[in-house]
Amino acid sequence: MKRRLLLLLLPVGFLGLALFFYQGLSLDPSQRDSALMARDFPAFEATTLRDENRRVDQSLLQGDVTLVNVWGEWCPACKQEMPQLLELADRGIRMVGVNYRDTREKGMEFLSEFGDPFETNIFDPEGELGFDLGVYGAPETFLVDADGVIRYHHKGYVSPQDVRERILPEVEKWR
Amino acid sequence: MALIRIVAALMLLVMASGAVAAGIELREFDDPVTEKRYRDLTASMRCPLCENQAINDSDAPISADMRERVYQLLQDGQSDIEIVNHMVQRFGEYILYNPRLESRTYLLWGLPIALVLLGALVVVLMIRARRNASAKALSAEERQRIDALINRKRSS
């Protein structure tokens, strides 16, 4: 009897491991959380896209819940998500852009063509702020609470469905 | 004819080396130790975008940025651990091909060792059981029965 039980241990153990690994197969490695979750927005110092004499730093992200969108003129998905970002701005959500690895000229062209939902655009031509944010491909969107802490991260294109089902509830949660 | 062939071969070589240089930039190091550390570090980090390429093997812009940062930090005299922490702080544990040992990864590192130990235990138990079985002598009654059976077979 004891022997039977011991023999049973093998298939049970195997099934357990198989289930565990099978579950791993359906995980999407690109859907991982940002390493900056629940951490302060990284310190930075930069100029703005529109005014090369205006200097901004991380205090820009304090005082109000803010959506920070990392974009560039070279990024097709950024163009596609512009209507959704404009809608979010219309709802009274504070938006700050990070113009990532771009030139002033192209960045401004982009905004005049696709609309400008951003209160301010941080100019990041070398991608330094992007690097500190762990950005590895635009667009990426961060939700920063009133204390300047990163609370939510959205990788890639923001669809109208993402706005309804993820972004708006998160904004409400941290307001 | 031979000359044309040699020129063509040379041109191919030049073009090939150009293609390699486009992917991975050449860097100057003060000493071979730093160069080795740079190679090891960039081989041990996964590109966050391309998922199964190390940053020293990837053409993604972010990999170039990360290689550049590793190089800069090495020039600043930071230790390997500091450089790895610098990267993990920004891009997460995901970029490490060798996850660090911490409470979250005990199962990952421990399971193979536990399985090997379990296997060894099973082997030891099996050997013991077999030894005990063979060592056990037959009782007088059992021997008599066996003899009887053997003899019956012979006589029939």
Exposed, middle or buried: residue B141 (CB in 10 Å: 0-12, 13-18, 19+)?
exposed
**Count of CB atoms within 10 A of residue A174's CB?**
15
The verdict on a CB contact (< 8 Å) between A132 and B51 is no
Q: What is the pLDDT of residue B16?
A: 57
A30, A32, A35 ranked by CB distance to B90: nearest: A35
Please tell me the predicted confidence (pLDDT) of residue B51. Answer: 76
SS3 A155: strand
pLDDT at B18: 46
pLDDT at B135: 66
Query: Which has the closest alpha carbon to A42: A150, A141, A171?
Result: A150
How close is the nearest chain A Cα to the Cα of B90, in Å? Answer: 5
- What pLDDT, on the 0 to 100 scale, is given for residue B13? 62
Q: Which residues of chain B have pLDDT under 50?
A: 18-22
- Number of C-beta neighbours around residue A134 at 10 A: 24
A63: left (phi over 0), alpha (psi -120 to 50) or beta: left
CA distances from A31 to A35, A39, A107, A157 (A): 12, 19, 28, 13
Nearest CB neighbour to A32, from listed B61, B65, B94: B94
What angle, rounded to 10 degrees, do the helices at B32-43 and B80-91 form? 30
| Cβ–Cβ gap B51/A131 under 8 Å | no
pLDDT confidence bin for A3, thresholds 50/70/90: confident
pLDDT reported for residue A6: 78
Q: Provide the pLDDT for residue A46.
A: 96
pLDDT recorded at residue B5: 76
H-only helix segments in A44-75: none
Q: With bands split at pLDDT 50, 70 and 90, how would you rate the model's confidence at A27?
A: confident
Confidence (pLDDT) at A70: 96
CB crowding B17-46: b at 16 or more within 10 Å, else e: eeeeeeebeeeeeeeeeeeebbeebbebbb
- Chain A to chain B Cβ contacts (< 8 Å): 33
- Average pLDDT (A30-49) is 92
What is the 8-class DSSP label of residue B18?
A: H
Residue spans of beta strands (DSSP E) within chain A: 45-48, 55-57, 66-71, 94-100, 120-124, 140-144, 150-155
Task: List chain B residues with CB under 8 Å of A33.
Answer: 92
Work out the average pLDDT over A116-131.
95
Give me chain A's average pLDDT, please: 93
Chain B residues touching residue A29 (CB < 8 angstroms): 51, 94
pLDDT of residue B87: 96
- Which residues on A lie below 8 Å from B65 (Cβ)? 127, 131
Tens digit of pLDDT for each residue in A41-88? 999 999 999 999 999 999 999 999 999 999 999 999 999 999 999 999
Contacts of B93 (CB under 8 A, 6+ apart): A35, B99, B100
pLDDT value for B20: 46
Closest approach of A90 to chain B, Cα-based (Å): 32
> How far, in Å, CA of B80 to CA of B37, rounded?
8
pLDDT value for B152 = 84
Contact (CB<8Å) B94/A29: yes
Q: What is the C-alpha to C-alpha distance for residues B34 and B38, in angstroms, rounded to an integer?
A: 6
The verdict on a CB contact (< 8 Å) between B90 and A134 is yes
Contacting residues for B146 by C-beta, under 8 A, at least 6 apart? B138
- C-alpha B151: how far from its chain's center? 63
